[in-house]
């Protein structure tokens, strides 16, 4: 029987309160389904909100002291890139997952680095293009100081331009406080009166903004699209203010593909709960890792052999084909435009797919411009605060 020791790096998230279990359950479901004859030992490391020092310490401990064969975790793109020296030094395969708030760059690659992401930067580009074609001229972006620390708003702007927008108005909350005040955004929208606005907010700010928007008179004048986690199933809400809003994402619970339905059925059967986005990302990593393990047959698993195997593997997952390699990274999953509704059976929010777009490559000059012009930005993975 094969033996494998895996280190898990798990951050904190206020939005995804069950991130730890969601991610680990997704990965272990795939491993248990596909490699039942492998004995797996897990060592978990809590990396706070994913800052570089926490990640560096965890990588060093797992690779040097715990002697794990592989590391899996939810880590920010920029922090991961800054940790490549450690990863390469130990020649240890590291598979990271995140929501994709940052566009990858040519520096984000290694023979030992493997990556899967929701690619929110690409989803926001699609949302901008879709909204401009649907609602016409005079667009506006409403966002917070936090969301502005990633590449998503710039990618949305490039999407607007791809559909013919000549300009975009910026509606911005400066600063971060424990008590949100999105009324400032509403007041500004009442002055600007754009044809449509895209709300790029999260947590309490997003919830408050949607209430103000529905209560104000601007809802009949200004169409609204939102960042996906303002109306996602992870909120488990039945409030009517989250209905009839469009968002864009590369995976959604209601995706009607055979592989996605198989994943959902297996996950709910094993854990008696609905899979969230981190469940799906963990499952993708687990699928590729299980195939790499099976490829060893009677050969001993080593860090180098795992890295070599993972670099050649393609699997069929809930979103379609998965390839985790970063030499170079491939973001080939389509983007789904969704409309939020309340499910009449459960009474909870549910997103219906209403359109699909192939998206854009991270190597497109405009996407790279969005990536490189943001020289700093937050260290933590998006929504891991």
Give mean pLDDT, residues 90-104.
98
Q: Length of the chain, please?
A: 385
Percent of the chain with pLDDT strictly greater than 90 = 87
21 pLDDT above the threshold of 70: yes
> Alpha-carbon distance 374 to 60, whole Å?
28
> Alpha-carbon distance 385 to 380, whole Å?
7
Give mean pLDDT, residues 32-44.
88
Give mean pLDDT, residues 231-240.
92
Q: Place 176 in a pLDDT band, splitting at 50, 70 and 90.
A: low
H helices present in 250-297, as ranges: 258-271, 277-294
Percent of the chain with pLDDT strictly greater than 70 = 99
Note if the pTM is more than 0.85.
yes
Query: Taking all residues of the chain, what is their mean pLDDT, rounded to a whole number?
Result: 94
178 pLDDT above the threshold of 80: no
Q: Write down the pLDDT at residue 37.
A: 79
Q: Write down the pLDDT at residue 148.
A: 93
Q: What is the pLDDT of residues 280-290, one digit of tens each?
A: 999 999 999 99
Give mean pLDDT, residues 125-152.
95
Q: Write down the pLDDT at residue 177.
A: 67
Q: What is the pLDDT of residues 289-347, one digit of tens each?
A: 999 998 887 788 999 999 999 999 999 999 999 999 999 998 899 999 999 999 999 99
> Alpha-carbon distance 208 to 126, whole Å?
25
Q: What is the pLDDT of residues 46-87, one digit of tens each?
A: 999 999 999 999 999 999 999 999 999 999 999 999 999 999
Q: Place 220 in a pLDDT band, splitting at 50, 70 and 90.
A: confident
Q: How many CB atoms lie within 10 A of CB 266?
A: 16
> Alpha-carbon distance 58 to 55, whole Å?
5
Min mean pLDDT across 50-54, 175-179, 208-212, 263-267 is at: 175-179
Give mean pLDDT, residues 252-275.
97
Give mean pLDDT, residues 94-101.
98
Give mean pLDDT, residues 28-56.
93
Q: Write down the pLDDT at residue 22.
A: 98
Q: What is the pLDDT of residues 114-137, one digit of tens each?
A: 999 999 999 999 999 999 999 988
CA 57 to chain centre: 24
Residue predicted with more confidence, 179 or 286: 286
End-to-end CA, the chain? 40
Q: Which helix (H) or strand (E) holds 367?
A: helix 365-373
> Alpha-carbon distance 109 to 328, whole Å?
6
Asked if 14 and 203 touch (Cβ cutoff 8 Å), the reply is yes
Which H, E and C letters describe 69-95, residue by residue? CEEEEECCHHHHHHCHHHHHHHCCCEE
H helices present in 136-202, as ranges: 152-162, 183-192
Asked if 111 and 307 touch (Cβ cutoff 8 Å), the reply is yes
> Alpha-carbon distance 220 to 57, whole Å?
52
């Amino acid at each position: 029987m094969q033996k494998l020791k895996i280190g898990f790096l798990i951050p904190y998230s206020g939005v995804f309160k069950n991130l730890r279990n969601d991610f680990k359950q997704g990965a272990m479901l795939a491993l248990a389904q596909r490699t039942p004859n492998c004995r797996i030992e897990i060592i978990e490391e809590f990396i706070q909100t994913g800052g570089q020092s926490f990640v560096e310490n965890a990588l060093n401990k797992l690779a040097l002291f715990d002697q794990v064969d592989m590391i899996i975790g939810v880590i920010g793109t920029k922090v991961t890139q800054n940790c490549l020296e450690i990863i390469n030094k130990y020649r240890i395969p590291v598979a990271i997952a995140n929501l994709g708030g940052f566009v990858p760059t040519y520096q984000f690659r290694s023979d030992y680095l493997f990556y899967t992401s929701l690619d929110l930067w690409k989803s926001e580009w699609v949302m901008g293009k879709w909204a401009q074609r649907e609602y016409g001229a005079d667009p506006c972006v409403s966002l917070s100081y936090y969301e502005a620390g990633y590449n998503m708003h710039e990618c949305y702007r490039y999407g607007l331009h791809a559909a013919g927008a000549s300009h975009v108005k910026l509606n911005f909350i400066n600063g971060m406080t424990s008590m949100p005040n999105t009324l400032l955004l509403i007041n500004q929208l009442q002055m600007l009166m754009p044809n449509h606005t895209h709300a790029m907010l999260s947590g309490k700010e997003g919830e408050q903004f949607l209430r103000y928007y529905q209560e104000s008179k601007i809802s009949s004048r200004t169409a609204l699209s939102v960042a996906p986690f303002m109306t996602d199933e992870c909120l488990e809400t039945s409030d009517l203010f989250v209905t009839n809003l469009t968002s864009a994402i590369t995976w959604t619970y209601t995706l009607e593909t055979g592989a996605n339905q198989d994943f959902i059925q297996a996950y709910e059967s094993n854990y008696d709960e609905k899979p969230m986005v981190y469940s799906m990302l963990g499952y993708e990593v687990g699928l590729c890792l299980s195939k790499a393990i099976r490829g060893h047959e009677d050969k001993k698993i080593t860090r180098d052999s795992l890295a070599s195997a993972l670099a050649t593997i393609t699997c069929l997952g809930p979103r379609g084909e998965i390839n985790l390699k970063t030499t170079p990274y491939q973001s080939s999953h389509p983007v789904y435009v969704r409309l939020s509704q309340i499910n009449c059976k459960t009474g909870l929010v549910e997103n219906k797919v209403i359109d699909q777009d192939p998206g854009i490559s991270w190597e497109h000059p405009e996407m790279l411009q969005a990536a490189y012009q943001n020289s700093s930005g937050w260290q933590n993975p998006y929504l891991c605060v």
